[in-house]
């Protein structure tokens, strides 16, 4: 678990039963899972990707161990012994014990601990930002799977229509009012529709497996309803007013705190480390004991390189902060404009659905009565298919644009578990 209680929000999700048939093999060991948005977010919380983010953040917590020690350098212990041969025939022995203990005159322990704590908070904030991006990338992939499911339904409608046209053509052939050419053309069109239906099924399965892999359940059987989310957005001014709550802004705040702590520590480390040394020695028949203190003189090296780098990093952070503010505002404005355009386009396309259904029904009836040739019916069928596809594409674009706006404005706040 990460150590940012202010941004650790409990995630609640509900399970709804949806209806759609996947085309990949069934596994009867467990029931199929209905993948709506709430279920996607619930699975993402416990996915391997989310666990990886937590593990990476915990590395910074592990790096804090040992920062609370009063001394970072271990004492030195020297022991020596050996013979001493003088002018006479007698050989004597020398034995000595030397202990050196460093003493940090900078008193930087509190600064080290503050920097370690700041880096832990920064790691948690970075994990939060990464999960924020991972969450919306996954939701966007889910929207695309839902869109692929809707395309399957659209392809199925087109195939059913071509089957009805083929039946009408065969009926008229048996009545002797048309030739074999119309039948061959109708069969080719129906064959094309079936091929597109199979391709859309394969595309939905491909994207579904990518989504399941992201959620950590690549072998689970799931179902989709193909319903694309549609809901209004708050006014642009309201979205811009809460930009400071975005995870990347929060991460920048924690990064500033870490940089300030590092600057304070480097300023303290310009004071050198003194060393207290004690020595007890027996040299031949003599005994020696002495104690002393050695203090490096900070004439040339005062940690000026690290201090200069710390100051430069703070200036870099200020430039990054200004760039982030401009980028975040531009992202919200761009996403809002994209959503408005897609919403208006879908509303316009959706308004013509009744005309589309009426047009294809009248064209099919006119062909059955012999009032129009097959080519005109197929032309109407093609136009109807294009309008339906355009309407679906506008709906897909609206759903993805609304999701992008939600990410840019951070209107629904989530944290990693």
State both tokens at 80: 């020596």
Residue labelled with tokens 């992201």: 214
What pLDDT is recorded for position 117? 92
Binned at pLDDT 50, 70 and 90, residue 148 comes out as: very high
List the single range of 31-40, 378-387, 401-410 with lowest mean pLDDT: 378-387
What pLDDT is recorded for position 178? 82
Q: Is pLDDT above 80 for 223?
A: yes
Q: Is the pTM of this model over 0.85?
A: no
- Domains in the chain and their CATH numbers? 5-409 (1.20.1600.10)
Share of the chain above pLDDT 90, in %: 45
Based on its alpha-carbon atoms, the radius of gyration of the chain, rounded to whole angstroms, reads 37
What pLDDT is recorded for position 377? 84
Gap between the Cα atoms of 182 and 405, Å rounded: 50
Gap between the Cα atoms of 150 and 152, Å rounded: 5
Q: Are strands 222-223 and 33-34 parallel, antiparallel or unpaired?
A: parallel
* pLDDT tens by residue, 347-383: 888 877 777 778 888 888 887 788 888 888 888 888 8
Q: What is the mean pLDDT of the chain?
A: 85
Gap between the Cα atoms of 398 and 401, Å rounded: 5
54, 127 in Cβ contact below 8 A? yes
Mean pLDDT of 116-122: 93
Gap between the Cα atoms of 248 and 328, Å rounded: 9
What pLDDT is recorded for position 20? 33
Burial of 289-327, coded b for 16+ CB within 10 Å and e otherwise, reads: eeeeeeeeeeeeeebeeebeebeeeeeebeeeeeebeee
**Secondary structure (DSSP) of 327-385:** HHHHHHHHHHHHHHHHHHHHHHHHTTHHHHHHHHHHHHHHHHTTSS-HHHHHHHHHHHH
100, 141 in Cβ contact below 8 A? no
Binned at pLDDT 50, 70 and 90, residue 22 comes out as: very low
Gap between the Cα atoms of 413 and 7, Å rounded: 9
130, 251 in Cβ contact below 8 A? no
User: Which letter does DSSP use for residue 245 in this model?
Assistant: G
Gap between the Cα atoms of 331 and 337, Å rounded: 10
* pLDDT tens by residue, 294-353: 888 888 888 899 999 999 999 999 999 999 999 999 999 999 999 999 999 998 888 777
Q: Is pLDDT above 90 for 41?
A: yes
What pLDDT is recorded for position 352? 76
- Give the residue with greater pLDDT, 16 vs 232: 232
* pLDDT tens by residue, 246-285: 999 999 999 999 999 999 988 988 888 888 888 888 877 7
* pLDDT tens by residue, 120-129: 999 999 999 9
Which has the closest alpha carbon to 34: 167, 190, 244, 220? 220
């Amino acid at each position: 678990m990460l150590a940012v209680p202010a941004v650790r929000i409990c995630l609640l999700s509900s399970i709804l039963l949806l209806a759609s048939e996947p085309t990949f093999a069934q596994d009867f060991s467990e029931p199929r899972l209905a993948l709506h948005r709430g279920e996607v977010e619930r699975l993402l919380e416990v996915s391997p990707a989310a666990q990886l983010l937590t593990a990476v953040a915990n590395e910074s917590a592990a790096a804090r161990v040992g920062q609370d020690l009063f001394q970072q350098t271990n004492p030195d212990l020297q022991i020596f012994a050996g013979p001493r041969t003088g002018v006479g025939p007698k050989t004597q022995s020398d034995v000595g014990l030397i202990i050196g203990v460093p003493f940090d005159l900078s008193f930087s322990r509190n600064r080290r601990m503050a920097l370690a704590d700041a880096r832990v908070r920064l790691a948690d904030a970075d994990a939060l930002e990464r999960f924020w991006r991972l969450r919306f990338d996954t939701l966007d992939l889910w929207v695309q799977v839902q869109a692929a499911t809707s395309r399957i339904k659209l392809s199925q409608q087109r195939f059913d229509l071509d089957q009805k046209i083929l039946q009408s053509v065969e009926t008229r052939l048996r009545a002797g009012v048309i030739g074999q050419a119309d039948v061959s053309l109708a069969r080719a069109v129906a064959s094309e529709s079936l091929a597109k239906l199979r391709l859309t099924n394969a595309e939905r399965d491909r994207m579904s497996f990518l989504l399941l892999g992201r959620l950590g359940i690549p072998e689970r059987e799931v179902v989709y309803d193909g319903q694309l989310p549609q809901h209004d957005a708050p006014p642009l001014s309201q979205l811009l007013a809460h930009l400071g709550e975005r995870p990347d802004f929060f991460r920048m705040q924690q990064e500033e705190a870490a940089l300030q702590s590092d600057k304070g520590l480097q300023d303290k480390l310009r004071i050198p480390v003194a060393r207290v040394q004690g020595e007890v020695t027996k040299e031949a028949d003599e005994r020696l004991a002495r104690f002393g203190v050695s203090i490096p003189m900070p004439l040339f090296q005062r940690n000026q390189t690290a201090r200069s780098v710390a100051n430069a990093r703070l200036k870099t952070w200020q430039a990054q902060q200004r760039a982030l503010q401009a980028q975040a505002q531009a992202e919200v404005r761009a996403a809002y404009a994209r959503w408005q355009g897609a919403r208006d386009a879908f509303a316009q396309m959706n308004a013509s659905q009744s005309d589309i259904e009426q047009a294809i029904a009248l064209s099919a009836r006119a062909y059955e009565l012999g009032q129009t040739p097959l080519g005109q019916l197929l032309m109407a069928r093609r136009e109807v298919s294009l309008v339906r596809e355009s309407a679906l594409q506008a709906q897909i674009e609206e759903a993805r644009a609304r999701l992008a706006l939600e990410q840019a404005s951070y209107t629904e706040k989530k944290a990693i578990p």
